[in-house]
Structure 1
Amino acid sequence: MSANYATRKEAIEREIIAAIEGTGEVADARVEFDIDAIADEVLSDYLPGYEVMANTEGFWAAVERHAR
C-alpha cells in the first residue's frame, strides 16, 4: 500500500475497495463499509497525487471502524 495515484477515486478503487474485496469475505465493499470515511482516514493528498498513509494495521483498523 504505497503507490501514488492521480485521483482520489483511483486511490479508493485500487487501495481500499480492492483490498477489502480481495479478502474474499466481502462482495461489495461500498455496501458493507463507509468507503469515504475510510479514505478520509487512510489517504493522503500529498502532491502530486494520493497515497495510503496508514500502515497495514492502521488500514484494517479504519476498515473495521467504518463497517455498516
Structure 2
Amino acid sequence: MLENTLPQLEQLIEQIIDKNTQLKNQIAELEQQKSLLVDENEMLQLEALEGEEKQKQTSNVLTSLLDKLQSVEELS
C-alpha cells in the first residue's frame, strides 16, 4: 500500500504546485489589468470633469449672449 501511496502523493503535490503557479500567474495578470483599468478610470474621470467645465463655460457664454439680446430688445 505504501508503494502506491507515495507515488500518488508525489503526483498530487506536483499538481498542487502546478495549480499554485497557474494561480500566481493569473493573479499577476489580473493585477496588471486592474492597474490599467485604474489608469483608464482616472483618465475618464478627468475627461468628464473637463467636459463639465466646458459645458459650464458654454452655458455662461450663452446666458451672457441671451442677456445682451434681451437688453437690446428692451431698448428697441
Instruction: Flag whether TM exceeds 0.5 (same fold).
Output: no
More RCO (CA 8 Å, sep 6+): 1
Bigger proportion of residues as strand: 1
Rg larger in 1 or in 2? 2
Bigger proportion of residues as helix: 2
TM range (shorter): under 0.3
